[in-house]
Amino acid sequence: MNEKYFPKEIEDKWQRRWAEEKTFEVKEDPGRQKFYGLEMLAYTSGRAHIGHVSNFSIGDALSWYKRMRGFNVLHPFGWDAFGQPAETAAIKEGTDPEEFTREAMAYMKWQFQRMGLTYDWSREIATCDPEYYRWNQWFFTQMLKRGLVYRKNSPVNWCPKENITLSNEQASQGRCWRCGAPVIQKDMVQWFAKITAYADQLVDDLEQLEGKWPERVITQQRNWIGRSLGAEVTFQIAESDESVTVFTTRIDTIYGANAIVLAPEHPLLPKVLEGKPEREEVLAFAENLKAEQRAAALDEQEKKGIFTGGYAINPFNGERLPIWIANFVLIQYGTGAVMAVPSGDQRDFEFSRKYSIPFRQIKLTADGGEIQPEDLQEADESWTTTVNSGRWSGLDSREANRLMTEYAEANAFGKVAITYKLRDWGISRQRYWGAPVPVIYCEKDGVVPVPDDQLPVILPPNANLKVEGGSPLDHIPEFVNVECPACGGPARRDTDTMDTFVDSSWYIFRYCDPHNDELPFDPEKVDYWMPVNQYIGGIEHAVLHLIYTRFWTKMMRDLGLVKFDEPVLSLLTQGMIIKETYECPEHEWLFPEQVSEDKTCKLCGRPVTVGRVEKMSKSKKNAVDPIEIIDIYGADALRLFVLFAGPPEKDKEWSDAGIEGSSRYLQRVWRIAAKWQPKVANDEAASASSLDQAALQDYQRRLRRRTHQIIRAITENFEDRMHFNTCISSLMELTNEIYSFDQAVEKNGGPTGSDISVAREALEALTRMLAPFAPHAAEELWESFGHAESLARSEWPGFEQDLTREEGIEVALQINGKLRSKIFASPDASEDDLKQAALADEKVKAAAAGRDPAKVIVVPKKLVNVVFK
């Protein structure tokens, strides 16, 4: 074996061998337990970035471990290949999105292969392949038949910069999730997936994920679905046959209602205004509010409203409540109308104060006294005791809430109601680079789904992407004009494409059976591999992809394709790799070497602004190209570094010194392995397990003990924490132990037979445990130790509990809780032994000064605390 570590050579060799021998290709094997490990679908952006390296290194380490533990490991890879950026890039460069995407895919695949990732490449998928998106279309038609997708004219979120519609999830905070442009509302006929039909299941099944998904993802999903239990109450409109229904979670405060407030878009508004002198003014005001809302989606606006001139009757007490419209009432939520209770809701409070709408009821102070309305500083939204509420006064508010809802129900002016923030998922896009919506419009037969035997509807090549208005597909007559599949008459195709989140909602399943042309997948294969045991990806998908794929799974379950509720058993959201940026007021972005230690610009001496960002870019001068790093240090060093920098879920800062450290560590392993290799590879040495432990020297027993302790530590870490940074620390410790052992051997004048056995045990354990983190180096070492089979087919090392036992331990001796001394004891020392040893200690005797201790606390194997009063 080579004396020096040459990563390039080794990595080329093993990447070639793995590919030739199809080492990581797997198939169903009912006799073996499966493990499905998955990293999120890679978007074909054009270049691999360091975030990919981090994501894939985590997943790959776990795959290695599970494989060596004997699991049948499915670890597939694929491309999220449709989408806006490819189209934008193609428009800019005058090329074709397909060409752009295929090139990006080829280049990125080469990059990822140079990382030596252990994917089953035979299962590679790309969402832009007709053999893949055909099944998107199939699902669409299945859903259409079941009413799970439907068309409706609705205001959609529209990104004016990219000219696309966005889902609510993609337009949160009023900005486009990709380009950040302010989102506007636009009316359009759109396809919607009925995710709200699964709202309850999506909330309830979160319980199954408790403890296995990060708490914050569960919380975010729960908040996003936003189920809230309350009541709908119907108020008769005075001098009219009409009524208005509001949604409230606090019907117990209804005696405090002082107004009914409608959203400006509320359909009842024209009727309320009928014949009123305020009519024109109010309608103009409403138009104004709508316009303002569109313009300023970002910040909370000042509350604005106007009295309509109409009144509604409070069904509980017959009071006449003025009907207002206001900007803070949202048409999309609840019934688009609320009852204002200024004493119980901060928004209503501000609104009532601003427009001097008199308060009807007030809350009790803590000591039971009444507060006058003018003394109120803010609304009290807590659950306390009802006041001034007729026969419900003095009740616990929760109890009142229940009783009053029942009363309303019994008297037919109200009912229990549940509302959700979740809205149906708009899935049509007026763009080219996506899967065509498989629908045909016929004058006679209406909306006709494309029959299964005519799928896929192929995305036509060479579209003009620069057309104004509508989708580019609108302008391709041979695509648009078709025969109606039902009557054969002339018909038109739908020219929208599907949101790319449809593609990624079910790709997890496709990996189980990626080339099936009968069905999206064979349910039996899915039954073997699914659910995903460990899913790894970014937190940015907490409410996008992860809620869509959960929805899709439930939908497929109802189609009879799968037998379970949740697609992903365990989720890890990995942190970002961030890198500092430096910005100088004079010289803009600076390279790190242009910044002096006191964070001033070396060119002009001005203080620089230090930023911490994930997105690396050339313009900000903080880019790190994984391939450049691999060229210098090797893929193993790079992978080792990103895993060693911190625990997977935490953000980690890129560091050039860190990558050198990783590289140095691998060289250090290499040196000691190369030194012992000629002896270790010799089969004549006895195996360590046959050695007589009692006959070994101290340094030999120590190395065996440390070896077994470290195997235990790393194994446990893989099983329940996946904190690979500490696994790597442990490997470094083991390496250091081998070096110390080596020195002891040198001192004794060279290795004996038992030295070789002990060294082999340690080196082979080290090599096998290195495989998840630095697989190429590990494979090469393993081979050089005389093993013909790939490490991928070898076992994870086991440990013997007996050998992990310390021979002598150091026990802390505390006096009154402060560390004062140490006791050396046997690990078997009884509590009483330790107590006696502690009391015999000089320091303890001195502190005692003749007194008896008030208390002696013994923690076996750890410490003794002697307490004097």
Partner RNA sequence: GGGGAUGUGGCGAAAUCGGUAUACGCGAAGGUCUCAAAAACCUUUGGGAUAACCUCCCGUGUGGGUUCGACUCCCACCAUCCCCACCA
Segment near RNA (CB under 7 A); pick from 8-16, 486-494, 784-792, 807-815: 807-815
CA distances to 310, 656, 692, 708, 838 from 827, in Å:
85, 43, 21, 17, 15
* Pick 88 or 709: Cβ nearer RNA: 709
Binding residue (CB under 7 A) for RNA from 728, 758, 762, 838: 728
Single out the residue of 536, 544, 481 nearest to residue 83, CA to CA.
544
Task: Return the residues of window 414-443 that contact RNA according to CB under 7 A.
Answer: 419, 421
Give the nearest distance from C-beta 472 to RNA in angstroms. 30
Decide: 161 and 178 in contact? Cβ < 8 Å.
Answer: no
* Pick 263 or 442: Cβ nearer RNA: 263
List the structure tokens of 299.
Answer: 């910040």
* Pick 155 or 661: Cβ nearer RNA: 661
* Pick 486 or 848: Cβ nearer RNA: 848
Burial class (CB in 10 A: 0-12, 13-18, 19+), 577: buried
Task: Return the residues of window 366-405 that contact RNA according to CB under 7 A.
Answer: none
Site membership for RNA, residue 718 (CB under 7 A): no
Single out the residue of 482, 639, 754, 603 nearest to residue 58, CA to CA.
639
* Pick 594 or 717: Cβ nearer RNA: 717
* Number of residues assigned to the chain: 869
Binding residue (CB under 7 A) for RNA from 320, 615, 805, 862: 862
Site membership for RNA, residue 645 (CB under 7 A): yes
Site membership for RNA, residue 642 (CB under 7 A): no
List the structure tokens of 206.
Answer: 């979160």
Give the nearest distance from C-beta 684 to RNA in angstroms. 29
Binding residue (CB under 7 A) for RNA from 161, 294, 671, 701: 671
Segment near RNA (CB under 7 A); pick from 99-107, 127-135, 301-309, 434-442: 301-309
- Alpha-carbon span 772 to 1, nearest angstrom: 22
Site membership for RNA, residue 723 (CB under 7 A): yes
Binding residue (CB under 7 A) for RNA from 822, 826, 828, 832: 822
Site membership for RNA, residue 282 (CB under 7 A): no
Give the nearest distance from C-beta 109 to RNA in angstroms. 30
DSSP letter (8 states) at residue 47: S
Q: CA dihedral defined by 583, 586, 588, 590, rounded to 10 degrees?
A: -60
Q: Which amino acid is at 594?
A: Q
- Alpha-carbon span 622 to 616, nearest angstrom: 6
Site membership for RNA, residue 820 (CB under 7 A): yes
- Alpha-carbon span 552 to 140, nearest angstrom: 11
Segment near RNA (CB under 7 A); pick from 85-93, 437-445, 509-517, 731-739: 731-739
Q: How many residues bind RNA (CB under 7 A)?
A: 94
- Alpha-carbon span 718 to 534, nearest angstrom: 12
Q: Which amino acid is at 851?
A: R
Hey, which residues does 600 pair with through a beta bridge?
607
Give the nearest distance from C-beta 169 to RNA in angstroms. 8
Segment near RNA (CB under 7 A); pick from 151-159, 310-318, 355-363, 806-814: 806-814
Segment near RNA (CB under 7 A); pick from 17-25, 65-73, 296-304, 556-564: 296-304
Task: Return the residues of window 523-542 that contact RNA according to CB under 7 A.
Answer: 539, 542
Query: What element of type H or E holds 233?
Result: strand 228-237
Give the nearest distance from C-beta 543 to RNA in angstroms. 7
Query: What element of type H or E holds 770?
Result: helix 753-770
How many CB atoms neighbour CB 98 within 10 A? 16
User: Is the bond into 490 cis (omega within 30 degrees of 0)?
Assistant: no
Site membership for RNA, residue 295 (CB under 7 A): no
Binding residue (CB under 7 A) for RNA from 195, 543, 642, 685: 543
Binding residue (CB under 7 A) for RNA from 39, 60, 96, 345: 345
Give the nearest distance from C-beta 657 to RNA in angstroms. 3
Site membership for RNA, residue 812 (CB under 7 A): yes
Binding residue (CB under 7 A) for RNA from 288, 594, 726, 784: 726
Hey, which residues does 857 pair with through a beta bridge?
865
* Pick 104 or 645: Cβ nearer RNA: 645
What sign has the CA pseudo-torsion 23, 24, 25, 27? positive
Site membership for RNA, residue 288 (CB under 7 A): no
Binding residue (CB under 7 A) for RNA from 814, 838, 841, 853: 814
With b for 16 or more beta-carbon neighbours within 10 A and e for fewer, the 646-670 pattern comes to bebeeebebeeebbebbbebbebbb
Single out the residue of 163, 151, 157, 150 nearest to residue 187, CA to CA.
157
Segment near RNA (CB under 7 A); pick from 165-173, 395-403, 461-469, 545-553: 165-173
**What is the 3-class SS of 368-411, one letter each residue?**
CCECCHHHCCCCCCCCCECCCCHHHCCCEHHHHHHHHHHHHHHC
Site membership for RNA, residue 810 (CB under 7 A): yes
Q: How many angstroms separate the most distant Cα atoms in the chain?
A: 110
Single out the residue of 385, 337, 347 nearest to residue 363, CA to CA.
385
Task: Return the residues of window 8-67 that contact RNA according to CB under 7 A.
Answer: none
Site membership for RNA, residue 794 (CB under 7 A): no
Site membership for RNA, residue 301 (CB under 7 A): yes
Q: List, in order, residues 6 or more apart from 344 with CB less than 8 Å away.
A: 250, 253, 256, 363, 379, 380, 381
Task: Return the residues of window 193-252 that contact RNA according to CB under 7 A.
Answer: 215-216, 219-220, 223-224, 226, 228, 230, 246-250
Binding residue (CB under 7 A) for RNA from 657, 694, 695, 849: 657
Site membership for RNA, residue 263 (CB under 7 A): yes
Site membership for RNA, residue 713 (CB under 7 A): yes
Site membership for RNA, residue 265 (CB under 7 A): no
Site membership for RNA, residue 291 (CB under 7 A): no
Q: CA dihedral defined by 343, 347, 350, 354, rounded to 10 degrees?
A: -120
- Alpha-carbon span 812 to 608, nearest angstrom: 49
Task: Return the residues of window 736-775 that contact RNA according to CB under 7 A.
Answer: 736, 739-740, 743
Binding residue (CB under 7 A) for RNA from 467, 623, 681, 732: 732
Binding residue (CB under 7 A) for RNA from 329, 427, 440, 711: 329
Segment near RNA (CB under 7 A); pick from 131-139, 293-301, 353-361, 587-595: 293-301
* Pick 509 or 799: Cβ nearer RNA: 799
Give the nearest distance from C-beta 760 to RNA in angstroms. 20
Task: Return the residues of window 57-116 that contact RNA according to CB under 7 A.
Answer: none
- Alpha-carbon span 824 to 838, nearest angstrom: 10
Task: Return the residues of window 457-486 that contact RNA according to CB under 7 A.
Answer: none
